[in-house]
Amino acid sequence: MNITEKAAYLKGLAEGINLDPAKPETKLINALIDCVNELALYVTDLEEDVDTLEAYIEEIDEDLGDVEEYIYGPDDCDCEDWEDWDCDCDCDCECDCDCDDECDCDCGCEAEDAE
């Protein structure tokens, strides 16, 4: 049961107990049920918007991956543990490696070793 169905169920329960419309309690219950119904509709709209945005973001991410591959070439290094990179050039570079061309930074993966 989704949120709009639950709101409709609550409304049906309130109508089914035949509350006296003149009592303040009945007015309060009806107002609360109306509020819950509006919130349920609002949440449903937000869920639809989120689904649309997720699909759009996935498309953008795929396009960005294509652009990155075009600009930087294929990613031959599958290393995920950047902190495990070994740097023998004494550059204190944390090994993303922005040091000069003489740097012998090596992540240890097969692609890097093949070069």
- Mean pLDDT to the nearest integer, 90-102: 54
In the chain, % of residues over pLDDT 90: 51
Could you give the CA distance from residue 104 to residue 90 in angstroms, rounded to a whole number? 9
Number of domains in the chain: 2
> Do 102 and 89 touch, CB atoms closer than 8 A?
yes
Regarding whether 109 and 70 lie in a shared domain, the answer is: no
Q: Are 105 and 86 in contact (CB under 8 A)?
A: yes
Q: In whole angstroms, what separates CA 53 from the centre of its chain?
A: 10
Q: How sure is the predictor about 71, in pLDDT bands with cuts at 50, 70 and 90?
A: confident
3-state secondary structure at position 12: helix
Q: What residue numbers bound the domain in which 65 lies?
A: 1-75
Cα-only R_g, the chain: 30
68 and 82 together in one domain: no
Give the pLDDT of residue 72.
81
